[in-house]
Structure 1
Amino acid sequence: MKTYPGSEIRNVAVVGHARSGKTTLIAALLHAAKMTAARGRVADGSAVTAYDEEDVARGTTMQNAVAFAEWQGVKINLVDTPGFHMFSHEAKAAMLPVEAALVLVNAQCGVEAVTERVWKYAEEANLPRIVVLNQMDSPRAGGGQGLSALMEDLHERWGRTCVPVQLPITGPEGFHGVVDLITMQAFFYETNGNGSGRIGEVPGHMLAAARAAHEALVELVAEGKDELMEEFFAEGTIPEQHLITALHEAIREDRIFPVLFTSGEANVATDHLLDFLKVYAPAASERAAVAVSGIEVMETVAANGHAAGLGASGGEAEHGNGEVSGYGSGMGNDKNDADIVLRPVADSEPVALFVFKTMSDPFTGRISFFKVVSGVVKTDSCVENYARKGQEKLSHLSVMQGRKAVEVTELHAGDLGAVAKLRDTFTGDTLGQKGAEIRVELPERPEPSMTYAIEPKTRADEDKLAGALHKIMEEDQLVRFFRDAETHEFLVAGSGQQHIEAIVSRLKRRYHTEVTLKAPKVPYRETIRGKAEAQGRHKKQSGGHGQYGDCKIRLEPLPRGTGFEFGNEIFGGSIPRQYVPAVEKGIVETALRGFLAGYPVVDFKATVYDGSYHEVDSNELSFKVAGRLAFKKAMEQAKPCLLEPIMKVEVEAPEEFAGALMGDLNGRRGRVQGMQARGKATVIAAEVPMAEMLSYGTTLTSITQGRGSFHMELKHYDVVPQLVAEKILATAKKPVEAEEE
């Protein structure tokens, strides 16, 4: 396969809401570019980027996938991303190795919840965005109201800089072409054809609308550029060649977000989309020089001079018919200018690459997807893993076409590649030439929002479980697997119920490990609401030296979240100093085992203030037991109660579901803290007991028709209401007392 320099590479993340047709459109683009003999389809599992067994079985993308198209001397790397809200962290991760985001909008539905979310991710990354209104062949495009309704929706969400660079051609036969507003030519297509268009004249009934749209585009491109405005006012327009160069620059600088029209299902206007990406999408070489802080953190200097995550080229790169400058992507942490050293994204620089994705293949093993930051990476070369300080050999360099690896001899700065069987390299690691160390920081990922207890079905499953889950965790960094020290359960955490169910299904399909999911035990706590005093005396005589310990303690409540405090008010030597820590140890151990229902006792102070001892029979063990006895007696009088974890919950959903969601949260003993608008979505902030949120993901999906998402984190502990506490205590076992030594 041919190798491409950075100036001939376009890296594009295809993002959007679920069912917007991302995977189908990529399959159509690959077919139009003659990369595949037949157009793959999601329904039968033949789409190039829908290769994962879980993706195929569920009919939805759950992990990023990479494919490439060679088109008229340019290589276009396409990163397919999930559109379901539970997997949007994957779409966010896809922003780092690319130079542009192709934001797909379902023409039938307009901008949806995840579309807005991924737009925000791209905005945070300073990533140029190209809007594609897909599924234009549907009679319900624009809600049945056509182009004006679609554009009104885009302008309301993202502003007037969302401007059409095409107009859709529709008729009795449906959507069958586009008018290019730059060249003022029409492209006609056969429905379900090979994606290749026929150039023709603009239809007469569209000529006036096309001219008006062309003038609006030219005027918007000229804004902010004095020389273009002068040319525009002098000639009434901008010559085509100048317009191409200026539009490319405006897209790269986020001044304009072009809008195109396609149908991936009908394979209409796909070759024209490839043309557009070739000419107008930023090239990989247009990244600014990489900013290195010491030898640890790599960021990017954006065109405005601030540090960002992986930036654009500091020099000039020829593209289209003019000279263009670099831009930034904004995914790093700001550093002082004095700490920044620049490394251009160029073949002449030391080799450096970072791993942005890991895939576990049952035949090949671990496959590491990487982006070449600088230098030329050659097959069989040796590089150093800067994070783990080990050497890795890059055997059989490849570029990925979905699951299929296409071997290459070398990859240039800015390209995406893959390599199998690296020994000790994982997602987020940076590798490169020894002595020229840098570090790429991946964007911060959200914390898991749902946890389930996981239990192997057989002993054989138990033996395989940890290894299989760790392989899944290498692929998906949002997955967590751990043992709860309090409940002694093995827990698996993910972004939601569907995410965790997919993990369980993958364990069975890929690793032949069967498990049972159970709702996790809620980590309740116990505390006291009153003061109490008690005496604990341990006296035992069994021949020879006996055991004797006697202490008086006082318990009092502390503010919520304080934990445990111990006080010593012994005066006059009623208990020798060396035995006081033993009393504390006895109290702490007994508190961990609980008093009401076996949950740890927290937020209290225990003070030992008196006692007695025996010169011969007293020892540390005796006073430890005495502390236990005193604690249990004091707890009986100190008004013990249960505490439950209260979660800070943020729910985002279309505004029409706000009433139903608030009612549901109130029914879960939640306290709504407030609401705010975020575009057309509403964000509800609430505090809800964890016990009421264990199955919330399923309910939210049902109420919002899959358009809502939520995040929660521990806020604090609060007292369980009496009626609820009685039910918990009725099913809980009293703590088993340890035998006194």
Structure 2
Amino acid sequence: MVDKAHPGNHPGAGGAAMVAERPEGIRNVVLIGHSGSGKTTLVEALALLTGAVPRAGRVEDGTSLSDYDDIEQRQHRSVQLSVVPVAWDGIKINLIDTPGYADFVGEVRAGLRAADAALFVISAAAGADAIGGSTLALWEECAAVGMPRAVVVTHLDAARADFEELTRSCRELLSGGTPENILPLHLPVYGPKGADGHRPVTGLIDLLTQEVFDYSAGEHTRTEATPAQTEQLDAARAALIESVIAESEDETLMDRYLAGDEIDLTALVTDLERAVAHGSFHPVLIAAPPPPGAQHGLGLVEALDLITRGFPTPTEHVVAASTNGSEPSRLNCDPDAPLAAEVIRTASDPYVGRLSLVRVFSGTLHPDETVQVRGHTPGSDVDHDCDERVGAVSEPFGKQQRPLRQVIAGDIACVAKLTHAETGDTVSAKNSHLLIEPWPLPEPLLPVAIQAHTKADEDRLSQGLSRLLAEDPTIRLERNPDTGQLVLWCLGEAHRDLALERLASRFGVQVDVLDHRVALRETFAGTGIGRGRHVKQSGGHGQYAICEIEVQPLPVGSGIEFVDKVVGGVVPRQFISSVEKGVRAQAARGLSDGRPLVDLRVTLFDGKAHSVDSSDAAFQTAGALALREAAAATRICLLEPIDEVTVIVGDDHVGAVLGDLASRRGRVLGTEPADLGRTRIQAEVPELELSRYAIDLRSLSHGGGRFTRSYARHEPMPTQLSDSLRARVAAP
């Protein structure tokens, strides 16, 4: 790759926005990696090297690039994606920094949607453990859509860091069975050992050019490799050349190479760049921030060269859209085509209101123009669309917003005052009725029951939740019809805490967290007889109704059956339906703690009426009383919901997961191999045991397991557990 020892002036320096004239002059790159891998540090170092910021991690007003959100400042970790544009070799590079914590994978998915290529940042200090879990899952997602990827190794100066071993782990875990497509472009050069026995990394050996890039003085200088270094790189260089040639469009190169011919370096570099752009080869790079006072960090020049020359332009990103339900067609990444953009994320700014981060896939977006906003309403198949007037258009840069006069196809920008836009919505030309299919989002599986803290909070709660859901589509809101609880479904504890903090600090809504209640039901364990007597006389028109019923249990899922066996007209025909209404209403209310009665056959066989004082209301009350008396005459069985659960986990963790499911009273229905060394486990588990399973599975599987759940049926709870639950409810 070409050396850029002197990057030159940065178009965005001094607070001016960077403007690309054509999509070919843009690169959109998302940084993905585990928490603590050094993604944000790498972005800041690249911004410093390219002149985007005057000093490490700081923009013109002195604020940090990473302090995008006030909550991030308090929690000292990234919780949402941010975009930092830099320029290199005449190319605008939108660096999309994403959170590393698994709870915020929705932000990572948004970054993948906005990007055309990915840098997977892996810390050598964490070793192979950093490659599993969510990192591996995201790598496979990129592979499924053919997104070009490269690996960047950080923290190579950490104790016990082993570049060779980490590279081997990357090839083993990420290659998908073709380890020859993940290889390093450089080898580290180590300096002399210090007093503590530590050997710092001072440079890189380029495997293709066989040159050494020396960073020991904080600058990027080029020297020739020593004979010892040349001998060290021979095997790695041969493996790299063979892999590059295997991807070459020139089918004669391999024969010439095997025959001992010297392959032209320019041809190798061209083939390497083409293989990276096509997503068939994934180079491993090394990077480190510059020492204090320096501008050049280890491997940063090489990373920028790979991005500008090896990663694809936005014109190669295939996105399809449909019009009024038509077959989706590919959008042309052409500034002169009709406008088509997508809202990648939404946020609230205290000064300008709602800000929408958009990726333009086609056409050109201008300030103050009228556009159509269309999308899928969360939780339903219904579309929403409206016309809105675009406010200011700006380039995001940390917490700063730099004004833009237009945004061309392939670029990313912030748009103000799209008051109805939600994450995932399509922004298109007015009356175009265009809809880009939204990207898949993880299913939130951690329930959090909430209620407003005060009456004032209750008045603001609906609006606050609406704004929260518009910003974060990975949260699902549910009003449980059985328990009446308002439930937020989140991805994990950190995601839950962030949602509650945003409600309080950003939307001014304080909520109390309640114990999540599972929708339990009750039924009769045996037959019961009940007599309902509702007789009142207080002068004038009275109330008179007597009915006798027999209640029998039915199989699970049968509901409530009402049978009329009255003879002789002891209960007048017009009041039989009244008894049924009373029985069904009491069954819906339940006997205790609001748990409904289900799966019963109620037979009305006797009763009495009064020619004047009997009424519909009186017999409804009598029917309810009769059901309660019948329940007192027999044992009541508690029914709990059972969920069908599918767990996909690495083969190494199958035993731990199976043991954990057994401890949750789960019934394993079967296991089968999934893809890439994983196993799919099918089980039925009581819903009571799944409240924290999203958290516990992540711990059991070291972040690599995932599961889905769906309601199957209710079935009787073990007597010991039901008695214990009733005792807790009855306790003061």
Shared fold (TM-score, shorter chain, > 0.5): yes
Does the 8 Å CA contact 1:49/1:66 hold for their aligned counterparts?
A: no
Q: Does 1:295 align with 2:321?
A: no
State the Cα distance separating 1:362 from its structure 2 match.
Answer: 2.2
State the Cα distance separating 1:239 from its structure 2 match.
Answer: 3.0
More displaced 10-residue stretch of structure 1: 129-138 or 379-388: 379-388
Pick one of 227, 234, 238 that aligns with 1:204: 227
Query: Residue in 2 aligned with 1:186?
Result: 212
Query: Residue in 2 aligned with 1:177?
Result: 203
Query: Residue in 2 aligned with 1:323?
Result: none
CA deviation map 1:27-72 (0-9, x unaligned) = 1111121111121299xx9651342222232232222222211111
Q: Does 1:15 align with 2:41?
A: no
Pick one of 346, 368, 371 that aligns with 1:383: 371
Q: Matched residues in 2 for 1:154 and 1:371: separation?
A: 32
Matches within 5 A, 1:151-170: 151-158=168-175, 159-160=178-179, 161-170=181-190
State the Cα distance separating 1:24 from its structure 2 match.
Answer: 1.4
**Aligned pair count?**
683
State the Cα distance separating 1:147 from its structure 2 match.
Answer: 0.9
Q: Does 1:632 align with 2:628?
A: yes
Pick one of 515, 519, 523 that aligns with 2:515: 519
Q: Does 1:472 align with 2:468?
A: yes
Query: Residue in 1 aligned with 2:556?
Result: 560
More displaced 10-residue stretch of structure 1: 244-253 or 88-97: 244-253
Cα 1:627–1:444, aligned 2, differ >3 Å: closer, same or farther? farther
Query: Residue in 2 aligned with 1:32?
Result: 49
State the Cα distance separating 1:269 from its structure 2 match.
Answer: 0.8
Does the 8 Å CA contact 1:134/1:264 hold for their aligned counterparts?
A: no
State the Cα distance separating 1:530 from its structure 2 match.
Answer: 2.8
SS of equivalent to 2:103: helix
Q: Matched residues in 2 for 1:76 and 1:625: separation?
A: 73
Q: Does 1:415 align with 2:428?
A: no
Query: Residue in 2 aligned with 1:642?
Result: 638
Q: Matched residues in 1 for 2:581 and 2:262: separation?
A: 85
Does the 8 Å CA contact 1:177/1:186 hold for their aligned counterparts?
A: yes
Q: Matched residues in 2 for 1:672 and 1:58: separation?
A: 39
Q: Matched residues in 2 for 1:168 and 1:381: separation?
A: 52
Pick one of 447, 452, 462 that aligns with 1:451: 447
Q: Does 1:216 align with 2:245?
A: no
The one-letter amino acid paired with 1:470 is S
Query: Residue in 1 aligned with 2:602?
Result: 606
Pick one of 41, 61, 65 that aligns with 2:82: 65
More displaced 10-residue stretch of structure 1: 695-704 or 69-78: 695-704
Q: Matched residues in 2 for 1:184 and 1:570: separation?
A: 99
Query: Residue in 2 aligned with 1:305?
Result: none
Query: Residue in 1 aligned with 2:308?
Result: 278
Does the 8 Å CA contact 1:113/1:681 hold for their aligned counterparts?
A: no
Query: Residue in 2 aligned with 1:497?
Result: 493
SS of equivalent to 2:436: coil
Does the 8 Å CA contact 1:570/1:609 hold for their aligned counterparts?
A: yes
State the Cα distance separating 1:374 from its structure 2 match.
Answer: 0.7
Query: Residue in 1 aligned with 2:124?
Result: 107
Query: Residue in 2 aligned with 1:361?
Result: 349
SS of equivalent to 2:159: coil
Pick one of 339, 356, 365 that aligns with 1:351: 339
Cα 1:626–1:292, aligned 2, differ >3 Å: closer, same or farther? same
Does the 8 Å CA contact 1:484/1:491 hold for their aligned counterparts?
A: yes
State the Cα distance separating 1:637 from its structure 2 match.
Answer: 4.1
Q: Does 1:718 align with 2:689?
A: no
Cα 1:733–1:428, aligned 2, differ >3 Å: closer, same or farther? same
State the Cα distance separating 1:608 from its structure 2 match.
Answer: 4.2
Q: Matched residues in 2 for 1:126 and 1:576: separation?
A: 74
State the Cα distance separating 1:170 from its structure 2 match.
Answer: 2.5
SS of equivalent to 2:139: helix
Query: Residue in 2 aligned with 1:307?
Result: none
The one-letter amino acid paired with 2:475 is V
The one-letter amino acid paired with 2:307 is L
Matches within 5 A, 1:479-494: 479-494=475-490
Q: Matched residues in 1 for 2:244 and 2:437: separation?
A: 34
Query: Residue in 2 aligned with 1:124?
Result: 144
Query: Residue in 1 aligned with 2:3?
Result: none
CA deviation map 1:215-243 (0-9, x unaligned) = 32332233365x52213323545433333
More displaced 10-residue stretch of structure 1: 501-510 or 417-426: 501-510
State the Cα distance separating 1:727 from its structure 2 match.
Answer: 2.3
Q: Scaled by the length of structure 1, what TM-score is found?
A: 0.83
Cα 1:294–1:503, aligned 2, differ >3 Å: closer, same or farther? closer
State the Cα distance separating 1:149 from its structure 2 match.
Answer: 4.7
The one-letter amino acid paired with 1:281 is F
Q: Scaled by the length of structure 2, what TM-score is found?
A: 0.84
The one-letter amino acid paired with 1:200 is T
Cα 1:364–1:618, aligned 2, differ >3 Å: closer, same or farther? same
Query: Residue in 2 aligned with 1:332?
Result: none
Q: Matched residues in 2 for 1:621 and 1:658: separation?
A: 59
Cα 1:229–1:562, aligned 2, differ >3 Å: closer, same or farther? farther
State the Cα distance separating 1:714 from its structure 2 match.
Answer: 4.1
SS of equivalent to 2:640: strand
Does the 8 Å CA contact 1:24/1:41 hold for their aligned counterparts?
A: no
The one-letter amino acid paired with 2:724 is K
Cα 1:30–1:558, aligned 2, differ >3 Å: closer, same or farther? farther
Pick one of 218, 238, 241 that aligns with 2:266: 241
SS of equivalent to 2:473: coil
Cα 1:610–1:141, aligned 2, differ >3 Å: closer, same or farther? same
SS of equivalent to 2:114: coil
State the Cα distance separating 1:421 from its structure 2 match.
Answer: 1.9
State the Cα distance separating 1:455 from its structure 2 match.
Answer: 4.2
Does the 8 Å CA contact 2:374/2:434 hold for their aligned counterparts?
A: yes
Q: Matched residues in 2 for 1:443 and 1:563: separation?
A: 39
Cα 1:508–1:292, aligned 2, differ >3 Å: closer, same or farther? closer
SS of equivalent to 1:54: helix
CA deviation map 1:251-296 (0-9, x unaligned) = 33332222212224763111210110000111111224x5443434
State the Cα distance separating 1:527 from its structure 2 match.
Answer: 1.8
State the Cα distance separating 1:582 from its structure 2 match.
Answer: 2.5
State the Cα distance separating 1:12 from its structure 2 match.
Answer: 1.4
Cα 1:539–1:378, aligned 2, differ >3 Å: closer, same or farther? same
Does the 8 Å CA contact 1:292/1:342 hold for their aligned counterparts?
A: yes
Query: Residue in 2 aligned with 1:728?
Result: 725
SS of equivalent to 1:436: coil
Does the 8 Å CA contact 2:57/2:66 hold for their aligned counterparts?
A: no
Does the 8 Å CA contact 1:92/1:121 hold for their aligned counterparts?
A: no
Cα 1:650–1:24, aligned 2, differ >3 Å: closer, same or farther? farther
Pick one of 136, 142, 146 that aligns with 2:156: 136
Q: Matched residues in 2 for 1:265 and 1:455: separation?
A: 49
Query: What residue ranges of structure 1 are gaps of 5+ in the alignment?
Result: 298-338, 735-741
Query: Residue in 2 aligned with 1:306?
Result: none
Matches within 5 A, 1:553-702: 553-567=549-563, 578-608=574-604, 616-648=612-644, 665-671=661-667, 687-695=684-692
The one-letter amino acid paired with 2:207 is L
CA deviation map 1:668-726 (0-9, x unaligned) = 44445566677577776654444444455666677677777666554443322222222
SS of equivalent to 1:517: strand
The one-letter amino acid paired with 1:730 is A
State the Cα distance separating 1:662 from its structure 2 match.
Answer: 5.2
SS of equivalent to 1:591: helix
